[in-house]
Structure 1
Amino acid sequence: MAASNLLSYVRATVTVDVDSMDPAVAARHTSDTAKFTDMTSNQAIVCGEASNPDRASLLAEACALAAKKDTGDIDLQVDNALDILTVLLAKQVFPYLTGRVHAQTAPAVAYDAEGTVAHAKKLLALFEAHGIDKSRVCFKIPATPESIIACEQLEKEGIRTLATCLFSLPQAVAASQAGCLYVAPYFNELRVHFEPGVWKEYANTAQEHPMSPVISSIVKTYKAIGSKTLVMPASIVTSTEAVALASLRPDHLTLAGGVLDQLAAAQSPAEGADNPKPMYPQVDLQTPPAVVNGASENGPTVEKTDFLANRADALRQALAADAEATRKLADALKIFGEMELKTKDLIRKQLSGL
């Protein structure tokens, strides 16, 4: 059947996931023939839902459960209410998924492998307590050297992970070596969603956007090394970006409600009854990956580097040599930390009224 709109067109090319904890978004773009696989989330998405008056009952429920369990320790109640709220929000979208719900570990432990493992396990216990099996859960973990080590440990224990806040090929190869189920290279740095003027439009997004060659190299390198880790680009602002990214041949795209709405409202390019005209030429996966992230040392040898040895020392060195990836990673963690604090403030006010 011909793709009737751009969302159908993109879904015919790549698996589409929902980057939202709003069940109305998932419902709006689900049908008998079109379903989402996974739902992704992060501290900013949780904050947005916690601030929504329509989700006030979930915030109240999370706070009541935390207060009942942890009487007397307000800081512990706040932390636990945040985790419970994350699970309750995910549970609302879960019926629209064929795959997994994703929750992101705390930015405060992004440089603490043991802390990241502990938070993932705490969240997993809450998911299971609320009826979502371990097999349907994945944890988004920022791709710092320490947290990639955490991913490796969690994967060995059968807990699936996604390496997020990812801006470079070395981060992606390290995540593959750790056994991550997914990597989520950010197409745009996180700040574009919060600060006007940061986002930039390109005449030919697939060729001119600075992250296009990075993502293309990740896809091609994974194919060359036979990686089982799936590529799921994230931080996508427009329908044009979504279509351009589909041409780079990732495995998944995770799309926010606004982008999904744009795609659904736009007509698919037509060529023949059952063959929509491609808007961008599909990337040839047989072509060697371009050299990205700064020089030949990250080209021919990156796939042979053991990024996990010596507590991920090679990844630490690669990030130290890549100022832009390091800046974007640090900024994303800063923003996620700020969003988490805003949610905790809402929770603390709710708890004070109990």
Structure 2
Amino acid sequence: MAQDLLSQLKAMTTVVADTGDLEAIRRFQPHDATTNPSLILQATQKAEWRERLAAIAKRCTDIDDALDAVAVEIGSEVSELVPGYVSTEVSARLSFDTDATLARARSLIERYARHGVEPERILIKIASTWEGIRAAQQLEREGIRTNLTLLFSFTQARACADAGVTLVSPFVGRILDWYQARDPDADLSGDNDPGVQSVKRIYDHFKGHGYRTVVMGASFRNAGEILALAGCDRLTISPKLLGELAETQGELERRLSPTDAETSPPEPLDEAEFRWDLNDDAMATEKLAEGIRKFTADQRKLESMLGELRQS
């Protein structure tokens, strides 16, 4: 009897819900869940959150306090619905400030502890800038696990693995967007998808060199990208695409498989190498900057809403 694609995917890859929508998490029963400022903004648009948000905002000392309180409130509820990790993002405004990222990450972990959520359940999401990676390296030394996001290049992935981060989230769909905008007639489906190719390269490098960092493909535009990465350590998927996979019958082929490490890791990248390699990759440079701007824009919208609620 044919199985749906989501059930088959769960047998070979840890499925993660890319949402703060509690109903979607209940429906699809993922192992982990990831959030970001845009997803939190979406979640808080639901009517049932308005009264709670007002109460949270009014008891907070300032907007930064309110933002983190809301993120942890949602994350704590999500943690009751999934057995694994919950990812919570540090403000995108801090993407180039190592010390401020460290302080904010520690504060988030303390907030979760007050909600009864253990530190090992939380992944602190940090943008894959040089400063963000340095913050993640220190947090991992302190026992705080990290998820490096807005990752568009092999160079960013290498630097994250060198730093010993718990998990990286290489983006797929946003890479596809960049290439499609420049060559709309090109066949970029399936294995030709440059975002899929990026994740495969990172996955093969990590497994081939014995890195322990988990690879979690993210930012999918279509189910075909997900199917092309079946077997990846983790895949974080929107409710819309989770639904599509759950409703589709067929045979799912495993595309990625771990291998024994063939060689030891290369020498770590230094800052100059990292910055040059990233600068030399127009797509990664542009998408990283754009991602930081977009997350910050949604954060400002959330700040505005919380500010109004505090005064209501």
The reply on whether 1:148 has 2:133 as its aligned counterpart is yes
Change (3 A) 1:251 1:340: same
Compute the displacement of 1:58 (Å).
Answer: 2.9
Deviation at 1:13, TM superposition (A): 1.9
**Which letter maps to 2:154?**
L
Match of 2:280 in 1: 321
Partner in structure 2 of residue 294 of structure 1:
none
* Native 8 Å contact 1:58 1:88 kept in 2: no
Asked if structure 2 preserves the Cα contact closer than 8 Å seen for 1:202 and 1:208, the reply is no
Q: Deviations over 1:28-69 (max 9, x none)?
A: 113xxxxx2211010100111122223213312321331xxx
Q: 1:48 aligns with which of 36, 42, 45?
A: 42
Structure-1-length-normalised TM-score: 0.81
The answer for the alignment partner of 1:260 in structure 2 is: 242
**Pairing 1:1-354 to 2, within 5 Å after superposition:** 4-30=3-29, 36-66=30-60, 70=61, 77-189=62-174, 205-246=189-230, 249-269=231-251, 278=253, 282-283=255-256, 304-307=266-269, 309=270, 312-353=271-312
CA distance in 2, matches of 1:211, 1:122: 34
Rounded to whole Å, the distance in 2 between the matches of 1:327 and 1:204 is: 20
- Tell me how far apart the structure 1 counterparts of residues 215 and 189 of structure 2 sit (CA, whole Å): 19
Percent identity of the aligned residues? 28
TM-score w.r.t. the length of structure 2 is 0.91
Distance 1:129 1:285, change over 3 A: closer
Label 1:306 to 1:178 Cα distance change in 2 as closer, same or farther (>3 A): same
> Could you tell me whether the CA contact under 8 Å between 2:97 and 2:132 is conserved in 1?
yes
Q: Distance in 1 between matches of 2:311 and 2:175?
A: 32
Q: CA deviation at 1:135?
A: 1.3
Question: What stretches of structure 2 of length at least 5 have no aligned partner?
Answer: none
Structure 2 distance, partners of 1:51, 1:284, is: 40
Structure 1 residues 197-241: Cα deviation after superposition (integer angstroms, max 9, x where no partner): 89x898673311112221111011101110000000110122222
C-alpha change, 1:167 and 1:326, in structure 2 (3 Å) is same
- Determine if contact 1:154/1:161 at 8 Å carries over to the other structure: yes
Q: What one-letter code is carried by the residue in structure 2 that aligns with 1:240?
A: G
Q: Distance in 2 between matches of 1:215 and 1:124?
A: 29
Q: How many residues align?
A: 309
Q: Does the CA-based 8 Å contact 1:15-1:253 persist in structure 2? A: yes
Per-residue deviation, 1:313: 3.0
Q: Is the 8 A contact 1:149 1:178 kept in 2?
A: yes
> Shift in Å at residue 191 of structure 1?
10
Larger Rg: 1
